Every structure is written in structure tokens, then in C-alpha cells.
Amino acid sequence: MAFRFRRTVKIFPGVRLNLGKRGVSVSAGVRGANVTMGRQGLYGNVGLPGSGLSYREKLLKEGKSGRRSAKAPTTSGQDTALPPVAERIAQVQLNTVSGEIAILDASGADLGNEAMAVAKAYANEALKENLAEQVDAHNRMMEQIGSIHLGTPAPDQFPQFVPEPFVQPEPIRPEPRKLDWKAWLCPARRNAILNSNERRVSEYQRQQLQWQSERENHLRKEGQRAALYQRALQASVAAMELVLDDHLMDIDWPQETSLSFELSADGNVLMLDVDLPEIEDFPKTELRLYQRGIGVSVNELSDTAVRKLYMAHVHGMGFRLIGEGFACAPSVETVVLSGFTQVANAATGRVEDKYLYSVKVKREAWSAIHFGNLDQVDPVEALAAFELRRDMTKTGIFRAIEPWPAEFDPSPA
């Protein structure tokens, strides 16, 4: 994949757990969600893959009504330990294409029917809850795929700077160990307690200094970000590029995607290339949890419905990105956006970029859109109102086009 423009951004799907860039938010998806069963019972785990951040809660608790304990049924008044396979259970995987459910170990290997039977026997409700989360997340994604344009800002709606909170908790001063009567009788014991207290206070002071340093560093960076947004509002080209980069990371994208962009030196033209999903990899199913038992039914969309949804999505992506460009870069008068997919050349076998559409939009024309009534806007039709290069049938079959060329000399990618 060869992006044409200098800055490249990868946008990740969904509202995600993000403690490092934008403060605390809650994941709307289930990447990293799993259940763990072991000697201590069954736990639900939610984490952000690749970040090291996670949340863990015990799902099976002793004595909790409506849930079975993490022990097997009793025989002759004695508890029986969980089957050995229980300790290998790491996650529940739902195949959103077939509806198949698999119980996996930490390495992702399928533990088979035995593990499924154990999970049903000892964690039936937790299994249902986990599957319900995955089904809901998939169906929400399918809805969002066709409505990504609804969050498009008006061209004069510059993004508000939202400072990132400093979430690291302040160290707590340790309570000193008190001298007991034995310490008064034994000098060695007394000295050991006093030395232990000194070490704990010293460690606390070290942690406190580190915490203060990190907090000051965080506040300094947030001050720089605030100044960056102010400079962008005043049409600084470098600042507008950085704000657009920063703001795009906050979009709740239904699927992971990449894009590249660049501003002209005078700040009047914004060029964007966006990597669109291939229709062959596009999600085609709606899911429903069984009302009885453990299972998920799959409704596969017709080819016509998939193409209609695909058209809405790829045009909605472009519509949203054009709007973000005008909003984040007040000096921009023209946005040129081109969307492409990657396909294998039948003659060479090499993967090449295939541009599906390319649109040139002027700010004045863009401002004519009623941004308070976007639910009545069809992105497929909306983009056609501008200078659009597109070769598409009524049923959503695209043929490759030549994108609009850059209206300035882009920097080397």
C-alpha cells in the first residue's frame, strides 16, 4: 500500500478503553474480553489489546444467588475440584460469520467439547453474558457501518480541546508499624520495625517524587496541546495538521482503517487518501442470542443488502472525513478525498491500489449541507453533488477510476 501524502493515521474501531490519550472511556466492543476459570473461580476480563490495560471481575462468587459456585457438585457432603481443563480456559470466541462458539486457552487453541461442557456446567450465566456482549457489539457495529456520517461536524465547528485527565493515583503514605510489647523487650525486634518503617517512608517519598514529576510532565504536555489547538484555530498549517491527526484518533470508527493526508503550504487545500475495506471482507451477518440454551443464530444479509450497506459505508467514510477536514483546518477552502481498496492484479498477482471514487469539495458548497439533519442525508447522493469521479453501477459495483491529482506538490511520503 503506497499512500500519496505525508501524514498517515490509523483509526481504530469502536469506543475503546483509552487511559493514555483521552482520559477514561468505556469500550463498546469486546476486543480483549474473555473469561478465565481456575482454582479461584471464574473471572471476566476486559483489556485493550497491546496496551497492558485490563479489568478483572469475579463472575462466580460463593453464596451468590442465581450463580453456581466455582466448585463441582458435592458428593457425600464433600466438594469435588473443578476438572483440570477448567484451569486452561482463557476466553470465549464467537465466530460472527458462522455463529460457532469456541472455548480457547491462553494461546488461542480450541479446548474442544470438554471445555464447553465445563463452562456450561460451572459458568452458564457468565457464558450467556459474555456472548450477549459480543452479539450486541457486532450488531452495533453493523448499525454504525451504515451511519458513520451522522457524526460529521459543520465546517465552522472547530473541535473543542478536551484536556486529558491525569489518571495515575497519588501514592498513599504508609501507616507506620506500631511497636508492640515484644519490641520493648527485644531491641532487635524494635530496630527491625523502626528500620522497616524508614524503608517504607523512603519508598513512599520516592514514589511521591516520581508521581509529582509525571503529573507536572503531563500538565506541561496538555498545555502544549491546548496551545496547539489555539494555533490551529488561527490557521497555522503545522498546527492544523497536528490537530486533525489528534482529532481523528477520537472518531468512533466501526472498523480499523488507515488514511494519509497533507495540507498545502498556504493551508488552502487538504488532500486525503483513505484505505476503504474490500467488499469481500465486509461483515455480512446479523446475530441473535438463543432465548434458551447457549447459542447464537446468524442471519446472513443478501448480496443486494451487503452492496447497499457497503455503498453507504464507503461513501459515509468519505463524507465524515471531508467534514472533519474542514472543521479542523479553518483556512482550508478545498478538500480532495480519494478512497481506494487493494486488489490483486490478475495478470501479475501483485496487490495494487484500486481507487473507487475521488471527490473535490469547496467549503462554500459544503456549507450548504444541513448538518442538523444528517439522518436525512444519503452520503452516496451527497458526494455526487460535488466534483466526483466515480464509476459505479446502481447495484454498487465499482470500476477503478483515476483519482484527482494533488493540487500542490506533496512532500515525499
Q: Please indicate, yes or no, if residue 205 is contained in any of the structural domains.
A: yes
User: What pLDDT score was predicted for residue 197?
Assistant: 92
Instruction: Mark whether 191 and 267 lie in a shared domain.
Output: yes
Instruction: Mark whether 383 and 274 lie in a shared domain.
Output: yes
Residue at 153: amino acid letter:
P
Instruction: Mark whether 126 and 15 lie in a shared domain.
Output: no
Q: Please indicate, yes or no, if residue 76 is contained in any of the structural domains.
A: no
CA atoms in the 13 A half-sphere facing the CB of 64: 12
Instruction: Mark whether 32 and 106 lie in a shared domain.
Output: no
User: Among 109, 140, 171, where does a domain finish?
Assistant: 140
Residue at 222: amino acid letter:
E
Using an 8 Å Cβ cutoff, are 41 and 70 in contact? yes
Q: Which residues contact 22 (CB under 8 A, 6 or more apart)?
A: 162, 164, 249, 250
β-pairing verdict for 296-300 and 257-263? unpaired
Instruction: Mark whether 14 and 106 lie in a shared domain.
Output: no
User: What pLDDT score was predicted for residue 325?
Assistant: 97
User: Among 102, 119, 140, where does a domain finish?
Assistant: 140
Q: Where are the beta strands (DSSP E) in 97-191?
A: 101-104
Instruction: Mark whether 154 and 134 lie in a shared domain.
Output: no
User: What pLDDT score was predicted for residue 349?
Assistant: 86
User: What pLDDT score was predicted for residue 411?
Assistant: 73
Instruction: Mark whether 122 and 159 lie in a shared domain.
Output: no
- Residue 45 is part of which domain span? 1-59
Q: Please indicate, yes or no, if residue 286 is contained in any of the structural domains.
A: yes
Instruction: Mark whether 206 and 272 lie in a shared domain.
Output: yes
User: What pLDDT score was predicted for residue 80?
Assistant: 57
**Model confidence, pTM:** 0.76
Where does 297-369 have alpha helices with state H?
Answer: 303-328, 363-366
Residue 341's nearest CA partner among 396, 279, 253 is 279
User: Among 115, 140, 165, where does a domain finish?
Assistant: 140
Distances (CA, A) of 412 to 6, 262, 405: 6, 11, 15
Residue 75, C-alpha cell as written in the block? 458428593
pLDDT tens string, the chain, 413 residues long: the values are 567 888 888 887 754 333 334 333 333 333 344 444 444 445 555 443 333 333 334 444 333 333 444 444 444 444 557 788 888 888 899 999 999 999 999 889 999 999 999 988 888 888 899 999 999 989 998 988 989 999 999 999 999 998 999 999 999 999 999 988 888 889 888 889 899 999 999 999 999 999 999 999 999 999 999 999 999 999 999 999 999 998 888 777 888 889 999 999 999 999 999 999 998 888 899 999 998 889 999 999 999 999 999 999 999 999 999 999 999 999 999 999 999 998 888 888 888 889 999 999 999 999 999 999 999 999 999 999 999 999 999 889 999 999 999 888 887 65
Residue 42, C-alpha cell as written in the block? 471464574
Count of domains forming the chain: 3
Instruction: Mark whether 209 and 180 lie in a shared domain.
Output: yes
Distance CA(362)–CA(365), nearest Å, equals 5
Instruction: Mark whether 257 and 393 lie in a shared domain.
Output: yes
Where does 146-186 have alpha helices with state H?
Answer: 181-185
Q: Please indicate, yes or no, if residue 321 is contained in any of the structural domains.
A: yes
Instruction: Mark whether 363 and 230 lie in a shared domain.
Output: yes
Q: Please indicate, yes or no, if residue 82 is contained in any of the structural domains.
A: no
Q: Please indicate, yes or no, if residue 307 is contained in any of the structural domains.
A: yes
Q: Please indicate, yes or no, if residue 130 is contained in any of the structural domains.
A: yes
Distance CA(31)–CA(47), nearest Å, equals 7
Q: At what angle do helices 124-145 and 303-328 cross, to 10 degrees?
A: 70
Residue 308, C-alpha cell as written in the block? 447497499
Instruction: Mark whether 104 and 243 lie in a shared domain.
Output: no
Q: Please indicate, yes or no, if residue 70 is contained in any of the structural domains.
A: no
